[in-house]
């Protein structure tokens, strides 16, 4: 046991120093101090097993020193010496969890018994240690999550219980799933266990973390020439063995104290699966040597997408989206952050365009959530999910029209708006009076017939202004206005700017 003696009376301090080795040759004097302040500094530096301290000392007393030490996480046993028998001192010592409280002058028999009781208590703690620290899975999980410091006690436990020395080789394979499902989890675990069966002597630990969407495989105490990385890559990178929609990272350490640091680095660099593809396991620290090129945003593809959306051409829209995705998968290597910036810009511009075109409202999509999807993505699937979410939100979410006459009237407006269809014409087709239809329309839609037709035409014109290069008179005709000047006046009354100004501002 390592002892620290904190006592301001040099005669008592020297007596304890000479006595301890006589009681047990394995008793080691780690250090001595003449006051609590110096004692606290030595506790932090030497980390003794047992602290023998006086109560009343200059600068800082013994109980204040112990309280400060225990507050900082000190686990040492303490024997308190005092020339005072006041109950308040004893009570304070017990509150701190002091193991023994002895009165001066020290009786040799009492001191010897106190040391023996401390030794027995430490032995009980040692036996209880596996239960307190946990099994290997829990220890490694706590290390990776930053919930456990690798103090000597933990290192000794790993060595004695599992044969893992501080310098043992440990390999870590981290697999992140964009979509955590029971099927993905079960299939991957089955695959890992089948691979491990090839090497029955290998020592390993498998961890699942649903919150992080990760499955972690830790391999340890293997031989240097086993080449674990090549063995793992050989299995997971075969065409029929690839894990789609997942990012895989690898690191190896020869000092367990670096395990958490390397794990956090692997998590950070998993997004390199995006530019490098799912046929690569991201290896740290090798990934630090990768050289990339600057990616130029494909503005032409964005313009084609806008035109396809304006035309309502779903097939062309899908093709533009595929082309946008393939743009980043050519022979050049771009950084994942560069690619994500382009995706964010594309989504932001499309949201702005769709809102201006009247196809999207603020309630239809959460822009912050969309940006979060892009930021979190570690695979192409993650980025594609973000764009799919944007396109999915473009579905018409307006309240359904309950009134059959109004529903049929709206359908006719959408079909014949270019020809200048009137309320009278629609009422005649429905076999009801214009007055009755006008009243029902206003009650159901919250807007009168002519205002609805005007707004619908202007929304169509907006899409054409932003998504095409058509001339103004052509857009006017497409929106149902034969006179381009009259169209411009109506457009300004509705939007606050002329068509040309609107196109220049928003395109």
CATH code, domain carrying 443: 1.10.10.60
Closest by CA position to 99, among listed 71, 120, 81, 80 = 80
Averaged pLDDT, 15-29: 92
Last residue of a domain, one of 231, 266, 289: 289
Closest by CA position to 30, among listed 54, 7, 1, 68 = 1
> Could you give the number of structural domains in the chain?
4
Between CA 458 and CA 466, with CA 462 as vertex, the angle to 5 degrees is: 170
Is residue 31 predicted with pLDDT exceeding 80?
A: yes
User: Edge-to-edge, what's the strand order for the sheet holding 28-33?
Assistant: 28-33, 2-6, 50-54, 77-82, 100-103
What single string gives the DSSP state of each residue in 357-403? TTS--TTT--HHHHHHHHHH--SHHHHHHHHHHHHHTTS--SPPP--
Write down the pLDDT at residue 241. 58
Tell whether 251 is covered by a domain: yes
Write down the pLDDT at residue 388. 75
Note whether 155 and 62 are same-domain residues.
Answer: no
Note whether 155 and 285 are same-domain residues.
Answer: yes
Averaged pLDDT, 22-43: 93
Write down the pLDDT at residue 87. 52
pLDDT above 70: percentage of residues in the chain:
89
**Structure-model confidence comparison of residues 416 and 201, the more confident one:** 416
Using CB atoms within 10 Å of the CB of residue 100, give its burial: 0 to 12 exposed, 13 to 18 middle, 19+ buried. buried
Tell whether 397 is covered by a domain: no
Write down the pLDDT at residue 215. 95
Last residue of a domain, one of 271, 289, 307: 289
Last residue of a domain, one of 75, 99, 130: 130
Averaged pLDDT, 357-374: 73
Using CB atoms within 10 Å of the CB of residue 197, give its burial: 0 to 12 exposed, 13 to 18 middle, 19+ buried. exposed
Three-state SS string over 232-299 comes to HHHHHCCHHHCCCCEEEEEEEECCHHHHHHHHHHHHHHHHHHHHHCCCCCEEECHHHHCCCECCCCCH
Averaged pLDDT, 415-438: 90
- 31-40, 204-213, 236-245, 415-424: the lowest-pLDDT one: 236-245
Pair type for strands 214-220 and 170-177? antiparallel
d(CA 98, CA 81): 11
pLDDT, tens digit (0-9, with 9 covering 90-100), for 255-272 = 999 999 999 999 999 999
CATH number at residue 113: 3.40.50.2300
Closest by CA position to 253, among listed 222, 282, 280, 230 = 222
Q: For the packed helices 299-310 and 336-356, what is the interaxial angle rounded to 10 degrees?
A: 30
Tell whether 294 is covered by a domain: no
Write down the pLDDT at residue 358. 62
Write down the pLDDT at residue 100. 82
- 174-178, 214-218, 385-389: the lowest-pLDDT one: 385-389
Pair type for strands 100-103 and 77-82? parallel
Closest by CA position to 474, among listed 501, 506, 499, 502 = 499
Note whether 126 and 30 are same-domain residues.
Answer: yes
Write down the pLDDT at residue 397. 43
Note whether 277 and 408 are same-domain residues.
Answer: no
Q: Which domain holds residue 456?
A: 404-506
Average pLDDT across the chain, whole number: 85
Query: DSSP state, 3?
Result: E
Count other Cβ atoms within 10 Å, centred on residue 335. Answer: 18
Note whether 226 and 182 are same-domain residues.
Answer: yes
Is residue 359 predicted with pLDDT exceeding 80?
A: no
Note whether 211 and 273 are same-domain residues.
Answer: yes
Tell whether 188 is covered by a domain: yes
Strand partners, 4: 31, 51
- Dig out the tokens for 505 from the structure: 């501002």
Write down the pLDDT at residue 423. 94
Tell whether 151 is covered by a domain: yes
Tell whether 441 is covered by a domain: yes
- Dig out the tokens for 98 from the structure: 């002091």
Write down the pLDDT at residue 214. 95
d(CA 380, CA 249): 16
Note whether 261 and 306 are same-domain residues.
Answer: no
pLDDT, tens digit (0-9, with 9 covering 90-100), for 110-163 = 899 999 999 888 887 766 554 555 678 888 888 998 888 888 888 888 888 788
d(CA 248, CA 176): 6
Query: DSSP state, 78?
Result: E
Write down the pLDDT at residue 362. 61
Note whether 310 and 372 are same-domain residues.
Answer: yes
Write down the pLDDT at residue 373. 86
Note whether 383 and 431 are same-domain residues.
Answer: no
Note whether 434 and 373 are same-domain residues.
Answer: no
- 80-89, 117-126, 377-386, 436-445: the lowest-pLDDT one: 80-89
Q: Give start and end residues of each alpha helix (H) in 446-483.
A: 449-467, 472-478
CATH number at residue 223: 3.30.70
Note whether 48 and 149 are same-domain residues.
Answer: no
Q: What is the pTM of this model?
A: 0.60
Tell whether 399 is covered by a domain: no
- The band of 33, judged by pLDDT with boundaries at 50, 70 and 90, is very high
pLDDT, tens digit (0-9, with 9 covering 90-100), for 333-355 = 999 999 999 999 988 888 877 77
- Dig out the tokens for 132 from the structure: 């307190």
Tell whether 435 is covered by a domain: yes
Note whether 357 and 375 are same-domain residues.
Answer: yes
pLDDT, tens digit (0-9, with 9 covering 90-100), for 281-293 = 999 999 999 999 9
Is residue 91 predicted with pLDDT exceeding 80?
A: no
Query: DSSP state, 107?
Result: P
Averaged pLDDT, 297-310: 84
Write down the pLDDT at residue 395. 44
Write down the pLDDT at residue 393. 46
């Amino acid at each position: 046991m390592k002892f620290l003696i904190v006592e301001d009376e040099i005669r008592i301090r020297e007596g304890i120093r000479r006595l301890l080795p006589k009681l047990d040759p394995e008793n080691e004097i780690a250090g001595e101090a003449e006051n609590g302040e110096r004692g606290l500094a030595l506790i932090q530096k030497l980390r003794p097993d047992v602290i023998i301290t006086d109560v009343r000392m200059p600068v800082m007393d013994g109980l204040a020193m112990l309280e400060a030490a225990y507050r900082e996480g000190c686990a040492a046993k303490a024997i308190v010496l005092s020339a005072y028998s006041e109950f308040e001192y004893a009570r304070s010592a017990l509150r701190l969890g002091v193991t023994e409280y002895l009165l001066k002058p020290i009786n040799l028999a009492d001191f010897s018994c106190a040391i023996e009781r401390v030794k027995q208590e430490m032995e009980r703690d040692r036996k209880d240690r596996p239960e307190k620290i946990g099994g290997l899975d829990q220890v490694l999980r706590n290390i990776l999550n930053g919930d456990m410091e690798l103090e000597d006690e933990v290192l000794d436990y790993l060595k004695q219980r599992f044969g893992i020395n501080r310098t043992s080789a440990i390999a870590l394979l981290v697999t992140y799933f964009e979509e955590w499902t029971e099927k993905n989890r079960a299939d991957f675990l089955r695959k890992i266990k089948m691979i491990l069966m090839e090497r029955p002597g290998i020592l390993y630990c498998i961890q699942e973390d649903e919150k992080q969407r990760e499955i972690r495989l830790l391999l340890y105490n293997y031989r240097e020439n086993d080449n674990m990385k090549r063995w793992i890559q050989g299995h997971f990178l075969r065409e029929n063995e690839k894990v789609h929609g997942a990012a895989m990272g690898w690191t190896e350490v020869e000092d367990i104290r670096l395990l958490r640091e390397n794990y956090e680095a692997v998590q950070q660099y998993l997004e390199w699966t995006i530019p490098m593809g799912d046929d690569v396991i991201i290896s740290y620290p090798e990934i630090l040597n990768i050289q990339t090129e600057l990616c130029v945003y494909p503005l032409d593809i964005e313009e084609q997408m806008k035109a396809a959306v304006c035309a309502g051409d779903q097939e062309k829209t899908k093709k533009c989206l595929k082309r946008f995705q393939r743009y980043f998968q050519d022979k050049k290597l771009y950084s994942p952050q560069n690619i994500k910036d382009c995706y964010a810009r594309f989504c932001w511009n499309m949201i702005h365009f769709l809102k201006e075109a009247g196809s999207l409202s603020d309630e239809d999509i959460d822009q912050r959530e969309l940006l979060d999807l892009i930021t979190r993505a570690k695979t192409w699937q993650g980025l594609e999910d973000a764009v799919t979410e944007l396109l999915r939100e473009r579905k018409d979410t307006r309240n359904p029209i309950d009134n059959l006459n109004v529903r049929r009237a709206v359908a006719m407006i959408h079909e014949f708006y270019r020809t200048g269809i009137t309320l009278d014409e629609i009422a005649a087709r429905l076999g009801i009076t214009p007055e009755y239809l006008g009243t029902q329309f206003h009650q159901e839609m919250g807007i009168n017939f002519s205002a609805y037709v005007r707004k619908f035409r202007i929304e169509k014109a907006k899409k054409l202004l932003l998504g095409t290069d058509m001339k103004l008179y052509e857009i006017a005709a497409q929106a149902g206005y034969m006179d381009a000047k009259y169209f411009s006046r109506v457009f300004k009354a509705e939007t606050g700017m002329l068509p040309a100004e609107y196109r220049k501002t928003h395109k």
